[in-house]
Amino acid sequence: MLTDVVVVGGGLVGLMTAERLAREGLDVTLVDRSEPGAAWSGIGLVAPALDGAAAPPLVDVVDDAVHRWPDWLVDADLADQLPRAAGVLAVAESPFHRQELERVRPRLERRYPTARWVAGGELAHVVPGLGRHIEAGIWHRDALRVVPHRLGTLLFASLLRRGGRVRWGTPVLALDVRGERVHGVRLPGEILPGGAVVLATGAEAAGLWPDGAAPLPLATQRWTEVVLEGVPPPSVAIVGRGRLVVPHDSGRVALVSATEAGDYRAAASAATLRRTLDAADLLPEVADGRVAAVTARLGPAMADGLPLMGGWAGLDGLVVAVGAGWHGLTLGPLMADVVYALLFDVAVPFNLGPFRPDRGEA
Q: What is the mean pLDDT of residues 304-321?
A: 90
| CA nearest to 155, candidates 260, 52, 81 | 81
Q: Are residues 99 and 124 in the same domain?
A: yes
pLDDT at 362: 40
**Nearest residue to 45 (alpha-carbon basis) of 183, 239, 305, 229:** 239
Per residue in 2-32, pLDDT (tens digit) is 899 999 999 999 999 999 999 999 999 999 9
* Statement to judge: residues 250 and 121 lie in one domain: yes
Is the same domain home to 242 and 331? Answer: no
The yes-or-no verdict on residue 114 having pLDDT over 70 is: yes
Clarify whether residues 159 and 201 are in a common domain: yes
361 has a pLDDT exceeding 90: no
Range of the domain at 227: 84-143+219-300
Looking at the structure, do residues 286 and 315 belong to the same domain, yes or no?
A: no
Domain assignment present for residue 67? The answer is: no
Instruction: Give domain status of residue 48, yes or no.
Output: no
Last residue of a domain, one of 262, 285, 300: 300
Bridge partner list, 174:
186
CB contact set of 227 (below 8 Å; sequence gap of 6+): 248, 250, 252, 253, 254, 291, 292, 293, 294, 295
- Report pLDDT for 117: 95
Let me know if residue 338 belongs to a domain.
yes
Whole-angstrom CA distances from 163 to 20, 23, 179, 201 are 12, 9, 31, 21
pLDDT, tens digit (0-9, with 9 covering 90-100), for 139-186: 998 899 898 999 999 999 999 999 999 999 999 999 999 989 999 999
- 248 within domain boundaries: yes
> Has residue 135 been placed in a domain?
yes
Q: 317 and 204 share a domain? A: yes
Q: Tell me, yes or no, whether 121 and 225 share the same domain.
A: yes
- For strand 3-8 and strand 144-145, is the pairing parallel, antiparallel, or unpaired? unpaired
Clarify whether residues 130 and 234 are in a common domain: yes
Mean pLDDT calculated for residue range 94-103: 91
Per-residue confidence at 211, pLDDT binned at 50, 70, 90? low
pLDDT digit string, tens, across residues 240-285: 988 899 988 788 999 998 676 655 555 667 777 888 899 999 999 9
- Could you tell me if 154 and 226 lie in one domain? no
Q: Is residue 91 part of a domain?
A: yes
Q: Residue 66: inside a domain, yes or no? A: no
Per the structure, how many domains does the chain have? 2
Confidence at residue 15, expressed as pLDDT on a 0 to 100 scale: 97
Residues 230 and 278 in one domain: yes
At 17, which CATH number?
3.50.50.60
- According to DSSP, the β-strands at 218-229 and 290-302 are antiparallel
CATH code for the domain in which residue 290 is found: 3.30.9.10
Is 203 among the domain residues?
yes
Helix (H, G, I), strand (E, B) or coil at 237: strand
Claim to verify: residue 35 and residue 168 sit in the same structural domain: yes
Q: Which long-range contacts (CB under 8 A, 24 or more apart) does 155-158 make?
A: 155/12, 155/15, 155/16, 155/18, 155/19, 155/76, 155/78, 156/15, 156/36, 158/19, 158/22, 158/23, 158/76, 158/77, 158/78
Q: Based on the domain organization, do 130 and 231 belong to the same domain?
A: yes
* Per-residue pLDDT reduced to its tens digit, 254-263: 999 867 665 5
Which of the two residues, 229 and 362, has the higher pLDDT score? 229
